[in-house]
Amino acid sequence: MPARGCLHREHIDAYLTGDLGEKAMRRVRRHLTGCPKCHAIAEELKEEFEAVSSELVGLLRRPGQGPQYLDEPEFRRALAKVDALRYKLSISSPQQAAGQLAALTAHPDQIGQYQLLESLGQGGMGTVYKALHTKLRRVVVVKVLSSERMDDPGAAARFHREMEAVGRLDHPHIVRATDAGEASGTCFLVMEFVDGIDLSDLVAAYGQLPIADACELIRQAAIGLDHAHQHGMVHRDIKPSNLILSSDGMVKVLDLGLARLRGAPAAHQELTATGQIMGTLDYMAPEQAEDAHSVDIRADIYSLGCTLYKLVTGHAPFSSSKYDTPISKAMAHIQKPPPPISEHRLDVPKGLEEVILRLLAKDPARRYATPNMVAEALLPFTGGRDLLALCSKATGDDLDKFEAPVATSGDTGPAIPARASTHVTPEGRAAVSAPKPPPVPPPRQLKQISASTGAERKRARSSRRRLVVVALLLLIAGSLFLPQVQTWIKSKDDWLNWLSWMQTKPARPNLASAPFSTAEAREHQERWASFLGVPVEKTNSIGMRFVLIPPGEFLMGSPDDEENRYDDEYQHRVRVTKPFYLGVYEVTQDEYQTVMGTNPSNFSSGSSCYPVECVSWEEAVEFCRRLSSLPGEATATRAYRLPTEAEWEYACRAGTTTTYHLGDDLDHEDANVDQGLSLGRTTTAGSYQSNAFGLYDMHGNVWEWCQDWHLYYYYRESPIKDPQGPSQGSLRVRRGGSWDVSPALSRSAVRFGRSPSDREPSQGFRIARTIDLPEHALFEGEEPLDWVSLFDGSDLTGWTPMLSSGEPDDRQPPDGGDWIVRDGVLVCDGAESAWLRSEQEFGDFVLHLEFKLPADANSGVIVRSLEGGYPWIEIQLLGTDYADDPRFGRTAQTGAIFDHVPPTADVQRGADQWNTMQIRCEGDDVQVRMNGMVIVEADLQNVEGLPNPPRTGFIGFLNHTSAKSGSAVGTAFRNIHIRELNVQPYGQPEPGFVSLFDGETLEGWQEPTDGYYVEAGTLVSAEDNRGTLLTTKEYSDFILRFEFQLESGANNGVAIRAPLDGDPSCDGMEIQILDNSSFQDADLDPSKYHGSIFDVERAERGHLKDVGQWNSQEIFCRGRQVRVTLNGAIILDVDLDELGPDARQRCPGIERDKGYLGFIGLRSTGNFPRAKVRFRNVRIRELVPAN
């Protein structure tokens, strides 16, 4: 028996294998942190895991072929240990499997008022039945928790959570829950029965689907997932068989573990087994293999991408024969790019292929952020879809509408054969077949694992422990029979390559964040060189010397008070995320002669070690191309290029923030510049002091070409991460100054443009060499390079303490405030000077931090604050003592947007326990995730009381007095990091679109403009306005996008292809803008409600947001097709040629193919004036006319 208060050994065991619920995992983790005895047991079990792995690998190193090793004592002992360590495999022997098979075929006749007709399958939590509601005579699906699981309090609690979760969902694209309860000693959940066909059967019937149909299927699924996402849910098992196309052409998502088993129960393993890694392997996101419980909605987005890939090509991305084992398939998702779609199909539009590749990005940060974004991205490819015909043709009259056909023996083999084993089918399922043990690999193929040095073993130890847990989870994932574990080793080096990769994957060094010293610069170079397995300094085949430049972050440009600065030196943060080599010297004349066969230099006599000059940008690029093609370089796959402007300045500064890398002053003794004592020519390369990275002549000697086009104000709007310069221009950038210009023109921030064909005696260049990053240098999930630490654990650098109250100008306290650093933690024990503000402003970002609160604490995280304080957005942090205090409502609980948006769940840990929090601010969208769960999602434009929420500002922390003691209590923060988001600036049009409204004036719109005005960045149609506002330009085929906000009773319209004279509603066409809920319009003809072509063709209703909220709308007009999309849903799609003569008589303008765009106001004819309509973000993209 364990000591009182200690954990049972099997609970620690289950914690290590991940076989506990989320709350239990947290409880065990907290206990292990504070209990030395249990911690020692956990360490012992980890070592036992290592021993199991070592014995298995050691056994496999033995020579020989065939299945002989199955009888080896060491192998049997290893299997016995695995069997002892895993205590909850859903299937652990053929005998147990046979027992479960019998249980599958036997079921009770009735539960509650539902008659159970037949079993559809069984999973780790229970059994799924097709059933009949005995009173309503309606066919439903019933999920019943097994009696064994009812005895497990944790399982029953999880089932209840699932019941509550699906009960919150009500959406046409999600299979709805209709009932839940307890009867006959068990729990059950009732779902709607869908009359249709799942997408895996659809592909089986058709093979490759039509492009428009495939995109529409996934678009609808994404809309359903977005609804679940808005309720804080992640599916984790999206795949074709969990998406059903109903007979009325509607896609529905089988949600929250209700994955069906089709046909023979033993032949399909798609229901989630207890302890299983969620997600069928063919569709599982890379991050799910590591930690299925902590994934977010982007894992579902990856799975959607895999599903779309299959619908389009007929195959999942990694379903070929070379990925026929679970390990090879899992590793392909982690490491391999998906096979090009062109290998399977040639008619896929390039734009769609780009969408699919983004869906399948290994890094979640590079995927679409939400399912709604996926739906929007797929919308342009859905023209011509016909899901009704697709479903009708696939199902036929006699096909079972819900269950797919039973797989044949050619698919999966018999249900439970003698000495059965399991493998992964092309569909990604665990299937049963006779065992065929693979040959044992020879010893030399395992030396890559065993021959590591002692130091390497020490570095790999922690990752090896993690490896064993992952490996055991993978074993559990397929519900494999332990005696047939050899089926995981299908190919001789498959397992071993994976094992080696996991063991030796080194830790990535930190970002080199300026400022840093010369010694730190060298340390950064050495760490990255060690990590990449390359030298800090390298000499190429013709003797050119290069030095490694590590990834880093710095302030590019010059501060406002720098002497002699130019306006284009706008100071901003830049992140160089990839290491590269840069020439130690400017390219010399000798090197240029060797590669190009000529020396164009003006100062050339006997000066081969001098920099080459009189070289144009075009010739510098050609030098890089020819050097890369030399035999000694091509065989080493070295790619030479000019550095980008950002790379050049980062390398020049080498961690400094001064005017020059040498300091704030420069004269002729420091560099070859013209200071009245000019040499009148170039000097030998390397004649002056190098910078901290070991680069010479970054100031003076010759100007150096950069890769970028030159645009004067480019860096006012450039991306933070790896800016590449403008996409076009007439001049190329040159940097660094030269022998014939002053020190002021040789500053680190000075930038000029020259024609790429110009040659001057002061113009040379320096080259960079790209480094091909090894796979272990590429991160899955959030890249550390994207994150910047805001707190280093030593002092308040980067932060400004402020008074908590008073006038903004008086807020900075003279004594430093109540915030201190104690043991590497940011702590505040006061409330008078308890506001700590960042020194830098941030716009769109993800902020990650950890916090700890006493029971009666009252604190908050501030985002987008003004320098002196309000307005700001406060994410509330409140001690556990106030959880049920009536003085604090839901909008004052931890995680709330204070006083505005309450959290959806209470996930805060106990008093004085560390919690994690992630705050994402992107445009008007704010998301708060705490302890792994999304608890707040809000569109600030639609939050009452926040009419004009700030879009940028400072970040900070605020400590308040305790409501109990009246004095402040300590609150603590640590591990504070931020990742800025490179999102489209608000109001800026997407690529290919141009703005029609600048938010300030009515420029671009025709007079008269009566009835329309600009207010707070919006275009307002005034109350009772009858005016029409038209563009100054005519449009034929286009995509028009805009956002609008209705007041109660508002009525307006969008004029398309309208003439200047006449009524734009009928002499052109009007897309109605209307508050459908207004009593004034309760009895309108259907063709006069929102989104309709006014008085011609009605739109689908039910997609408008409530009055006062912002809606997004798109009008697609090409040739004779008009399509209207409202808040992501298509509400109108019409071919104008198919309209009848009555429509043409009422609206002759439908015959027009060109005209003006605009807005049409409407004055009331009764006693109630029409309300305002506001428009913003109005942009258009012209289309090539349809043939």
Does residue 763 contact residue 739 with C-beta atoms inside 8 Å?
Answer: no
- How far apart CA 311 and CA 307 sit, in angstroms, is 6
Does residue 203 contact residue 246 with C-beta atoms inside 8 Å?
Answer: no
For residue 622, the 8-state DSSP code is H
Non-local (6+) Cβ contacts of 900 within 8 A are 891, 938, 943, 944, 945, 946
What string of H, E and C letters represents the secondary structure of 74-95?
HHHHHHHHHHHHCCCCCCCCHH
- How far apart CA 804 and CA 836 sit, in angstroms, is 9
Tokens 């654990």 correspond to 793
Query: For residue 701, is it left (φ>0), alpha (ψ between -120 and 50) or beta?
Result: left
Does residue 309 contact residue 316 with C-beta atoms inside 8 Å?
Answer: yes
The SS3 call for residue 745 is helix
Does residue 890 contact residue 931 with C-beta atoms inside 8 Å?
Answer: no
- How far apart CA 41 and CA 35 sit, in angstroms, is 10
| Residues 1-6: contacts with CB under 8 Å, at least 24 apart | 3/37, 5/35, 6/35, 6/37, 6/38
The DSSP string of 353-402 is HHHHHHHT-SSGGGS-SSHHHHHHHHGGG-TT--HHHHHHHHHTTTS-SS
83 has catalytic annotation: no
Does residue 495 contact residue 56 with C-beta atoms inside 8 Å?
Answer: no
The DSSP string of 580-591 is EEEESSPPBHHH
The SS3 call for residue 757 is coil
- How far apart CA 941 and CA 951 sit, in angstroms, is 11
- How far apart CA 956 and CA 937 sit, in angstroms, is 20
What is the token pair recorded at 181?
Answer: 């309860």
Which of 460, 457, 214 is closest to 356 using CA atoms? 214
Distances (CA, A) of 577 to 637, 641, 845, 976: 21, 17, 17, 20
The SS3 call for residue 499 is helix
Does residue 847 contact residue 975 with C-beta atoms inside 8 Å?
Answer: no
Angle CA 825–827–828, to nearest 5 = 170
Non-local (6+) Cβ contacts of 1185 within 8 A are 1036, 1037, 1118, 1119
- How far apart CA 295 and CA 516 sit, in angstroms, is 36
Burial 742-762 (b: 16+ CB within 10 A, else e): bbbbbbbbbbbbbebebbbbb
Catalytic one among 237, 282, 844, 1067?
A: 237
Instruction: Write the single-letter amino acid at 9.
Output: R
- How far apart CA 412 and CA 300 sit, in angstroms, is 27
Distances (CA, A) of 121 to 35, 90, 103: 43, 14, 11
- How far apart CA 949 and CA 772 sit, in angstroms, is 44
- β-pairing, 703-709 vs 763-764, is parallel
Distance of CA 58 to the CA centre of its chain: 40
Residues annotated as catalytic are 237
